[in-house]
Amino acid sequence: MSEGTGSAVGPRSRAGSHAPLDRDRIIDAAAEVLTRFGPQKTTVVDVARALGVSHGSVYRFFRSKSALRDAVTERWLARLSDPLAAIAGERVAASARLRRWFEQLIALKREKARTEPELFATYYALAEEARDVIRAHVEAMTGQLSGIIADGIASGELIKLDPASTARALFVATARFHHPAHAAEWGDPGLDAAFDDIWTLLINGLTADKAGRKP
């Protein structure tokens, strides 16, 4: 999102321009403009034009173009992580929660890549540049996993391991199935079977009775 004037945004994008300007409305407009023109061609002026306001009005809410792009990325990522938080908080066995958590993550990513490929590519490009945002997102995700693992250790279902490092290891070990860099592989008909094989190996190494060790 560069500083100068970029691609023109037509009158259709000005709908609702008389509504009070706030952060959510600016993020909505930015998301639409970014999807239409892509991160490289979109400017703050384009976003302001879509809203029917001056670019100075946008800067009153976001101190820089990077801050606005980060806000768009954060909201997109939250829509992925919020359903996972609900699974993490369920009162069921830890191993079942872990499996459901990863299945949901994989399903959400695949669905977005399949039904909205241009939007998915846009947000992936944004995320690649928003390093701090991505770091916070991954920490939040692995924090959910860490909580599930800690529950499993406390109940004796899982062997005693450091929950935080184990969560990070699981996240990295399954990256092929949920990291956008692997999106081109997600149409492979054998991918689900491959996940089953990986998951069996991982969960058997964490489950006390399968590992043949006392918790």
**What is the tens place of the pLDDT at every residue in 84-107?**
999 999 999 999 999 999 999 999
Within a domain: residue 6? no
Encode pLDDT of 134-173 as tens digits: 899 999 999 999 999 999 999 999 999 999 999 999 999 9
Q: Does residue 49 surpass a pLDDT of 70?
A: yes
Within a domain: residue 81? yes
Which domain covers residue 159, as residue numbers?
Answer: 69-211
The overall average pLDDT reported for the chain is: 87
Within a domain: residue 118? yes
Shared domain for 85 and 99, answered yes or no, is yes
63, 78, 94 — which closes off a domain? 63
Residue-level pLDDT at 212: 54
Residue-level pLDDT at 7: 43
Residue-level pLDDT at 37: 84
Alpha-helix runs per DSSP H in 64-190: 65-88, 94-115, 117-129, 131-155, 163-173, 175-178
Encode pLDDT of 104-132 as tens digits: 999 999 998 888 887 788 878 887 777 88
Shared domain for 38 and 124, answered yes or no, is no
CB 127 within 8 A of CB 77: yes
Nearest to 101 by CA among 134, 148, 140, 169: 148
Q: How many domains is the chain built from? A: 2
Q: Which of the 8 DSSP states describes residue 212?
A: T
Q: pTM for the whole thing?
A: 0.80
d(CA 71, CA 24): 9
Chain center to CA of 40: 21
Encode pLDDT of 192-209 as tens digits: 999 999 999 999 999 977
Q: What is the band of 76 on the pLDDT scale with cuts at 50, 70, 90?
A: confident
